[in-house]
Amino acid sequence: MQAMPPPPPVSLPADRASQRRFPVRLSRPWWQAGLSDNTLGLRGDAVLVCDGVTVTLQGLRSWQVAQVFNVVREGRSVAFQVLGEDRLVDRVRLWCRNVASAQAARLALPANVTAGAAQALQEHHQFEDRLDVAHPPPRWTRRLVAINLLVFALAATTGAGVLEPDPRVLLAWGTNFSPLTLHGQQWRLLTSMFLHFGLLHLAFNMWALLSGGRFAERLFGPRRFLVIYFAAGLSGSLTSALWNPQVNSAGASGAIIGVFGAILAWFLRADHQVPASVIRQQRTSGIVFILINLGYGATQSGIDNAAHLGGLVAGLLLGWLLARPDDGAVSEDRQDAADGPGIC
């Protein structure tokens, strides 16, 4: 936290007078670990009440904010800074029920902006609005997670194991084993992407998929996102089968690393209009996830780094090829919607 003078008040437009009560969640969803926490330690459900000047959170106890400024929306979350009576700055993040509710909450909150933040906030709001117009809300990321969870549960009921996996049972389910994959059972390149060696392996990959996949799906749109995900996953599986002919491999991290690679490739394009604050956040989380996987695979036995590298290369290439200028035009996706084991 840091001490600072209060921001100058800004008059509220007329459209901020409506919709001033919003059901919100104060606890961060576990899949959005990359977003900043509430520095005030707020938790649970509440109702956000705005009157244009003061802001109140009504939950187990009523909490009134002395002053709100620098409001920003990211998807269905709304974040802002507050200046308490001790003149210390804290950060609050709220999760609304949907994107429309988050948009309305942002407009209902006071429009105070500190010096130097106005341009950055305007760019951020324009970027979020362009994503909302260009693509439908992300759904395929959660569907992919659901498929992975379902397959894990079904495999566990046949003896594949929960904490201690049985590679022989998982082999029957379709793991990537080169002597079988490259000799008539090419379908294992795909099925191995949805199998995991134990609960910890599954949990880490699904957390990463939710963290990066939702942003990638909004950025590229559902069609391009699915192309990137499956192409990176298949590339990782094929690289693993060619590189490690005796490894029994499974996992979604080749596809997930490809998704993060595609995001990073988008940022390398000169014609994008992604705000610097979004780039910093996504670039940091993507690079950290990639380096952790590659570093862990280079130092630990039983980790299939070939799948990681194959997925990363495919993701970087497809991210560069499928990235488009971020001009806010309605995409085809939106129009259609309106209409041991080797662990990877």
Q: How much is the pLDDT for 255?
A: 94
293: Cα separation from own chain's centroid:
17
Mean pLDDT of 48-64: 74
Sorted by sequence, the CB contacts under 8 Å of residue 206 that are 6+ apart come out as: 31, 145, 148, 149, 252
Least Cα distance to 7 among 101, 62, 80, 105 occurs for 80
CA dist., res. 336 & res. 131, Å (int): 16
Distance CA 286, CA 278 (A): 12
> pLDDT tens for residues 73-95?
877 888 887 775 555 567 788 88
Domains of the chain, with CATH numbers?
14-115 (2.30.29.30), 140-343 (1.20.1540.10)
Secondary structure (DSSP) of 239-271: HHHHH-TT-EEE-SHHHHHHHHHHHHHHHH-TT
Beta-carbon neighbour count of residue 326 at 10 Å?
18
Query: Among 195, 155, 181, which residue's Cα sits nearest to residue 247?
Result: 181
Compute the average pLDDT of residues 255-271: 86
Distances (CA, A) of 230 to 21, 25, 72, 206, 266: 41, 33, 33, 15, 18
Per annotation, catalytic residue among 135, 196, 201, 308: 308
CB atoms within 10 A of CB 291: 10
Query: Could you tell me which of 291, 206, 159, 310 has the C-alpha nearest to residue 249?
Result: 310
Tokens, residue 324:
């488009």
Record the tokens describing residue 268, joined without a space.
Answer: 């390398």
Query: Residue 17: its pLDDT value, please?
Result: 42
Annotated catalytic residue, options 178, 253, 285, 331: 253
pLDDT interval class at 186 (50, 70, 90):
very high
Q: What is the mean pLDDT of residues 183-204?
A: 91
Confidence of residue 140 (pLDDT cuts 50, 70, 90): very high
119 falls in which pLDDT band (50, 70, 90)? low
More confident residue, 130 or 141: 141
Which of 107 and 66 is assigned the larger pLDDT?
A: 107
β-strand partners of 76 = none
Q: What is the DSSP letter of 89?
A: E
Confirm whether 253 is a catalytic residue: yes
- CB–CB of 154/195 below 8 Å? no
Lowest-confidence region among 220-224, 235-239, 241-245, 307-311: 241-245
* pLDDT recorded at residue 31: 47
- pLDDT of 259: 94
Q: What local confidence, expressed as pLDDT, does residue 34 receive?
A: 45
Contact 309, 294 (CB under 8 A): yes
More confident residue, 70 or 185: 185
- Provide mean pLDDT across the span 169-183: 90
Give the dihedral sign, CA 286/289/293/298: positive
